[in-house]
A and B are shown apart, each in its own frame.
Chain A
Amino acid sequence: MAKVSMTVNGKAASGEVEGRTLLSSFLRDTLGLTGTHVGCDTSQCGACVVHVDGKAVKSCTMLAQEADGSDVATIEGQANADGSLNVIQQAFQDHHGLQCGFCTPGMVMSAAALLKDNPKPTEAEIREYLEGNLCRCTGYHNIIKAILAASGQDVSAIAAE
């Protein structure tokens, strides 16, 4: 067992981990941040996406010890300071960009990383960026629409609310 320390959602966090402990397990099991979900074991589904030092990372694919000393952001830290939904979260609600909610944390974290690098992505750019995030409920329609809307683009012409 080894001790790891990191900043998670702006607060200091630490714990004892095995060498094989994944960052996703550390977040969920040690820190109790269960908003980060694990939907596969081959780094395909993206439900576990968090930000490590500002970059989107699949937390099931990073050892907790690798994140030692890092600045980690998870879905639990995304809302505005007053607790209201941030722009991306609000767009997902406004445009029905989620159903069962299981992929949603990863989708929101990926969308945030995309919009940070590319504030006005095209539909095609969003679809390509989300290749690493699987959703089984929405057929992606309203997720794409929500991210376009969150980037301030007009989505009124897109079929069906």
Chain B
Amino acid sequence: MPKDNDSGIGASPKRREDVRFLTGAGNYTDDINVHGQAYVHFLRADVAHATINSIDTSAAEAMPGVVKIFTGADFAEVGGIPCGWGVTDRHGNPQQEPRHPIIADGTIRHVGEIVAAVVADTVEQARDAAEAIELDLTDKPVVVDMAAALAEDSAKVHEDLSSNLCYDWVFGNDDDDAVQAAFDAAAHVTTLELVNNRLVANPMEPRVAIGEYSRGTDEYTLHTTSQNPHVIRLLMCAFVLGLPEHKVRVVAPDVGGGFGSKIFHYAEEAFCTHAAKACGRPVKWTSTRSEAFISDAHGRDHVTKIELALDSNNNFTALRTNTMANMGAYLSTFATSVPSYLHGTLMAGNYKTPVVQVNVKTVFTNTVPVDAYRGAGRPEATFQLERVIDKAARELGVDPIALRRQNFITEFPYETPVALTYDTGDYTATMDKLEEIADVAGFAARRAESEKKGKLRGLGVNCYIEACGIAPSNIVGMLGARAGLYDAATVRVNATGTISVFVGAHSHGQGHETSFPQVVADMIGIDESMVDIVHGDTGRVPFGMGTYGSRSIAVCGSAMVRATEKIIAKAKKIAAHLLEASDADIELKDGQFTVAGTDKSVAWGDVTLTAYVPHNYPLEELEPGLEETAFYDPANFTYPSGAYACEVEVDPDTGKVTIERFSAADDFGNIINPMIVDGQVHGGLGQGIGQALLENAAYDEDGQLLSASFMDYAMPRADDVPFYQVDHSCQTPCTHNPLGVKGCGEAGAIGSPPAVVNAVVDALQSAGKNVTHIDMPLSPARVWAAMNG
């Protein structure tokens, strides 16, 4: 609960990491230089599909400064990049899973694929030499459009696969006839076809990798821009390079944003690690932004038809959705889980629809691989569901908010028809709060003001639910995950009472260095300045699974609580010995151990010192020292939810959409640091508004990415967004983790796109335009065309 001081759970102390970032003292991967390092430049494919007949590197090898040039042949003996999730299709067959080479092995399958790698003394020399490499290619037919890719006569992205279909998956009610019967019985059916536009995550820091090898100890170090260094180490060692994990250290220092795109194991990481040994010197790669556009995994890219059935009382009776999801040319690390288990499981949304059927066909195309981007599957589910509900309300002539309220799930726990059990939530409360903060009642007056200016004003509202804190391991394992999804923390108390907490989560903007100590300090009753977080180094932290899926505080934070509980339990035993009392009688408050009902006490620092200087100590019963580790695997996902409202003005002459107001009422359960939570929501809203209005990764029919730089890919800028109204006072705590937290990192990006589109449709319909949908991004051209079409 919020406190009126600056410390502990619920307070908003200033972020301690800010000082280094504000003074230029951060330590991002590209800031690191290793003695004797060479630089690699990757020669990347500039065509989308071709056979490599030959590569002539002889001229390049003679260029100044060149150390070594690598081609696909140099990596023929190592493994491909693995896919971390195996989805079983509707017929019980495994997904089609092509080999994903480090360097193209005879065939180019997307623009940006690595064809050769030049290691040289300087990055300029490497770049110059790459231009002297001669490629002899034979173009192959390019597959870009998903529907065309699934046609029987389509060219194949992978000749060794039976087709371009990765899997055809059905979830929820898999009895087609029963689902059809529900639709046949409906009083009204609303159908909507839509596109969830392809996006590029674009964290402001491009990826970087530095590989080092020590001949003396046979040890490798990889510095990389990662959200999860242990996952990278495991995948790279076990599946790609065949290295013993204990000989490999992966370090992700300050990382400049991730948003999902830095979860995955990338070819460049394995390359730099391998090349460091092959070249006998460290090898560094720094991505340019132009490379990032064609080598970072993209996000979204779904094409969907959704149908909603309602009875004569406007109750939802059935939902059926058919989606094609783009995988790109290869399967990135978690690509196959995103359109399936992170998407289909959310299709019930906040509503008690009894019958839900989800069909997803994932498709290979000659494009950059697609994987998780902030929200990952849940934005795609939310967008189509909240759009079709809005369309239904307009078709039926009922208030979109009332239609939602009528169909809300109101009793918890609630088992959905798509395999989840929501533990807590109060969707009516968040909608009430939203109507209050968005001043929905005042909208009509604001619309009248806009109309006086010649502008069309629209209000769009929607709800969302997400499954966060991704885990538990046994469930995700049954669903095809090839990794555990617990997390880990070690609490190391020093002799003088200060604490280092080594966590498996990774902070790349989330402020863990501030919020995690709030929890530990609060539990013990000491000053937060006595607690530091250590993260991002497999050589220092226990094997954790990293940060994504809004899981850091829900999963790793829970591990940290468990480890701290162990510390407190042991410290109480030491205190009991010092106080000559039973440890059951020892109470810990404000950093003092007290014998209950007496004035006998001993301070935290005296107990910690005793743990390490165990002269007066029960050595027969208790080990010295004060350090505990906990691995935490949650019992369920967490279910943040909320209601969002967007108000837009549309210029009828140009189609330009301006966001006038944006309000978000979220239920994140308990909150550790409200300031950081607000910031997470703000950022998600910025990205969601970007998707709705601006961003689009557009390919032409030759597989060329047309929006491949910040000059062509419209990132949201400061004057594209308003101040946001954010509220998280509705709190239904999670029932199954010790902090009662749900996670907040993705909510804004999940909940905001449908609100924007609903608002624009509302604005256009207010002017009598028969516009029921516009595909994102709602550029002026698209909006104008819809109005005048």
Q: Which A residues are closer than 8 A to B by beta carbons?
A: 18, 20, 28, 33-42, 44-45, 47, 74-76, 78-79, 85, 89, 92-94, 96, 98-105, 108, 123-124, 126-128, 130-131, 133-145, 158-161
Residue contact B255 to A136, C-beta cutoff 8 Å = no
Of B20, B678, B717, most A-chain CB atoms within 10 Å: B717
Residue contact A104 to B21, C-beta cutoff 8 Å = yes
Of A36, A76, A78, A101, most B-chain CB atoms within 10 Å: A101
Q: What is the bound-complex CA distance between A122 and B206, given in angstroms?
A: 32
Q: Is B549 an interface residue (CB 8 A)?
A: no
Q: In the complex, what residue of chain B is closest to A83 when comparing beta carbons? A: B23
Cross-chain contact of B22 among A41, A98, A131 (Cβ < 8 A): A98
Q: Can you add 20 more A-B contacts, CB < 8 Å, to A47-B204, A138-B686, A159-B724? A: A34-B24, A36-B24, A39-B256, A41-B288, A42-B710, A44-B711, A44-B715, A98-B18, A98-B21, A98-B22, A100-B509, A101-B254, A102-B203, A104-B22, A126-B718, A134-B717, A136-B686, A139-B687, A142-B682, A161-B12
Q: Is B28 an interface residue (CB 8 A)?
A: yes
A89 partner residues in chain B, CB cutoff 8 A: 22-23
Q: In the complex, what residue of chain B is closest to A89 when comparing beta carbons? A: B22
Q: What is the bound-complex CA distance between A124 and B511, given in angstroms?
A: 29
Of B124, B508, B683, B685, most A-chain CB atoms within 10 Å: B683
Residue contact B289 to A99, C-beta cutoff 8 Å = no
Cross-chain contact of B204 among A74, A131, A136, A139 (Cβ < 8 A): A136
Q: In the complex, what residue of chain B is closest to A105 when comparing beta carbons? A: B24
Residue contact A101 to B21, C-beta cutoff 8 Å = yes
B646-695 residues at the A interface, CB under 8 angstroms: 674-676, 678-679, 682-687, 689
Residue contact B683 to A99, C-beta cutoff 8 Å = yes
What are 25 inter-chain pairs, A to B, with CB distance below 8 A?
A38-B206, A39-B204, A44-B709, A74-B24, A79-B23, A85-B22, A92-B22, A93-B19, A96-B675, A99-B510, A99-B511, A100-B508, A101-B256, A102-B257, A104-B21, A104-B22, A126-B718, A128-B718, A130-B717, A130-B718, A131-B719, A136-B687, A138-B679, A141-B721, A142-B679
Q: What is the bound-complex CA distance between A76 and B19, given in angstroms?
A: 11
Q: Is B580 an interface residue (CB 8 A)?
A: no
Cross-chain contact of B256 among A34, A100, A123, A139 (Cβ < 8 A): A100
A136-B202, A139-B686 known; A37 vs B28 contact (CB < 8 Å) = yes
Cross-chain contact of B257 among A35, A99, A108, A139 (Cβ < 8 A): A99
Minimum distance in angstroms from A133 CB to a CB of chain B: 7
Minimum distance in angstroms from B442 CB to a CB of chain A: 15
Residue contact A159 to B725, C-beta cutoff 8 Å = yes
Residue contact B124 to A93, C-beta cutoff 8 Å = no
Q: What is the bound-complex CA distance between A99 and B509, given in angstroms?
A: 4
Q: Is B726 an interface residue (CB 8 A)?
A: yes
Cross-chain contact of B124 among A20, A76, A136 (Cβ < 8 A): A20
Minimum distance in angstroms from B489 CB to a CB of chain A: 22
Residue contact B721 to A140, C-beta cutoff 8 Å = yes
Minimum distance in angstroms from A21 CB to a CB of chain B: 9
For the complex of A and B, list the 4 residue pairs with the smallest distance between their C-beta atoms, beginning with the closest: A35-B24, A139-B686, A101-B21, A102-B256
B18 partner residues in chain A, CB cutoff 8 A: 92-93, 98, 101
Minimum distance in angstroms from B286 CB to a CB of chain A: 8
A38 partner residues in chain B, CB cutoff 8 A: 30, 206
Q: What is the bound-complex CA distance between A37 and B683, given in angstroms?
A: 20
Residue contact B24 to A96, C-beta cutoff 8 Å = no
Minimum distance in angstroms from A114 CB to a CB of chain B: 11
Minimum distance in angstroms from A88 CB to a CB of chain B: 9
Residue contact A144 to B288, C-beta cutoff 8 Å = no
Q: Is B259 an interface residue (CB 8 A)?
A: yes
Minimum distance in angstroms from B629 CB to a CB of chain A: 28
Minimum distance in angstroms from A147 CB to a CB of chain B: 10
Interface size on B, residues (CB 8 A): 61
Q: What is the bound-complex CA distance between A108 and B26, given in angstroms?
A: 14
Q: What is the bound-complex CA distance between A123 and B723, given in angstroms?
A: 10
Q: In the complex, what residue of chain A is closest to B17 when comparing beta carbons? A: A101
Q: Is B14 an interface residue (CB 8 A)?
A: yes
Minimum distance in angstroms from A71 CB to a CB of chain B: 18
Residue contact A34 to B717, C-beta cutoff 8 Å = no
Minimum distance in angstroms from A63 CB to a CB of chain B: 14
Residue contact A94 to B14, C-beta cutoff 8 Å = yes
A42-B289, A75-B24 known; A141 vs B682 contact (CB < 8 Å) = yes
Residue contact B724 to A45, C-beta cutoff 8 Å = no
Q: Is B25 an interface residue (CB 8 A)?
A: yes
Q: Is B159 an interface residue (CB 8 A)?
A: no
A141 partner residues in chain B, CB cutoff 8 A: 682, 686, 721, 723-724
Q: Is B394 an interface residue (CB 8 A)?
A: no
Q: What is the bound-complex CA distance between A9 and B261, given in angstroms?
A: 35
B203 partner residues in chain A, CB cutoff 8 A: 100, 102, 136
Q: In the complex, what residue of chain B is closest to A75 when comparing beta carbons? A: B24
Residue contact B678 to A160, C-beta cutoff 8 Å = yes
Q: Is B587 an interface residue (CB 8 A)?
A: no
Q: What is the bound-complex CA distance between A150 and B347, given in angstroms?
A: 45
Residue contact A45 to B24, C-beta cutoff 8 Å = no
Q: What is the bound-complex CA distance between A44 and B689, given in angstroms?
A: 19
Residue contact A40 to B289, C-beta cutoff 8 Å = yes
A99-B257, A105-B24, A127-B718 known; A139 vs B685 contact (CB < 8 Å) = yes
Residue contact B28 to A102, C-beta cutoff 8 Å = yes
Of A33, A76, A98, A131, most B-chain CB atoms within 10 Å: A98
Q: What is the bound-complex CA distance between A127 and B685, given in angstroms?
A: 17
Q: What is the bound-complex CA distance between A33 and B25, given in angstroms?
A: 9
Cross-chain contact of A135 among B24, B204, B508 (Cβ < 8 A): B204
Q: Is B769 an interface residue (CB 8 A)?
A: no
Residue contact A160 to B12, C-beta cutoff 8 Å = no
Residue contact A39 to B719, C-beta cutoff 8 Å = no
